[in-house]
Chain A
Amino acid sequence: TQLLEQSPQFLSIQEGENLTVYCNSSSVFSSLQWYRQEPGEGPVLLVTVVTGGEVKKLKRLTFQFGDARKDSSLHITAAQPGDTGLYLCVRCGSARQLTFGSGTQLTVLP
């Protein structure tokens, strides 16, 4: 089993603070996705990164794929309560080859 480690497991911050969460693997990703899951709902795709060193921005969210394609980070600038949720990184391929990390549970306090 190819494990995905996400850190931190839990993060609680005040509105307006910045934060970074991480996704690491011992093996190379062909590509990686980040999903956000809100309470009582299914995960929703945020971004897909494919190329080593790639950086993608989605409003206040910045996603980076490591040069060696073995790690990724998600940085949130000026977090808002609406950012609260479980952030999941996913090693992707065919449906048979999806591997989910255990997630980072983010709580942004007003």
Chain B
Amino acid sequence: NAGVTQTPKFQVLKTGQSMTLQCAQDMNHEYMSWYRQDPGMGLRLIHYSVGAGITDQGEVPNGYNVSRSTTEDFPLRLLSAAPSQTSVYFCASSSGRPQETQYFGPGTRLLVL
């Protein structure tokens, strides 16, 4: 049982490049979310999904796209990277019931030059 996995661990991009951050979970969780973590700002929700085929925007969605074709996978796409997107990105999954545990992946550290 791997839990939540994320790839890559590190990435350096040039401004304007695109890329996809991968996230997968093997716990059959309906809820999956993407957060970014910046110094002094905690974790902020980018996009989330309540099940396959259903996604919605979080607090800071601009510049990011998501899709959820399967229960297991929830990729995050950066369409045209900007230096402001330099951050640590975390994927999380849960059963979706209130107060349930959020299981986080190990994170992807992204630097946009």
Contacts and interface: CB of A to CB of B under 8 A. Distances in A.
A43 interface: yes
Given A31-B99, A88-B42, A96 B106 contact: no
Contacts of A43: 43, 90, 102, 104
Nearest to B6: A42
A72 B11 CA distance: 37
A62 interface: no
Interface string B64-99: 000000000000000000000000001010101011
B107 A40 contact: yes
Contact of B99 (A1, A33, A44): A33
Interface in A36-95: 40-45, 48, 50, 88, 90, 92-95
A65 B25 CA distance: 31
Interface of A: 1, 4, 9, 30-31, 33, 35, 40-45, 48, 50, 88, 90, 92-96, 98, 100-103
Contacts of A35: 102
A54 to B, nearest CB: 12
Interface of B: 4, 31, 33, 35, 40-45, 48, 50, 56, 58-59, 90, 92, 94, 96, 98-99, 101-102, 104-107
Given A40-B106, A40-B107, A43-B104, A92 B50 contact: no
A55 B62 CA distance: 40
Contacts of B107: 40-42
B31 to A, nearest CB: 5
Given A42-B4, A95-B50, A30 B106 contact: no
B99 A102 contact: no
A42 B99 contact: no
A90 B100 CA distance: 12
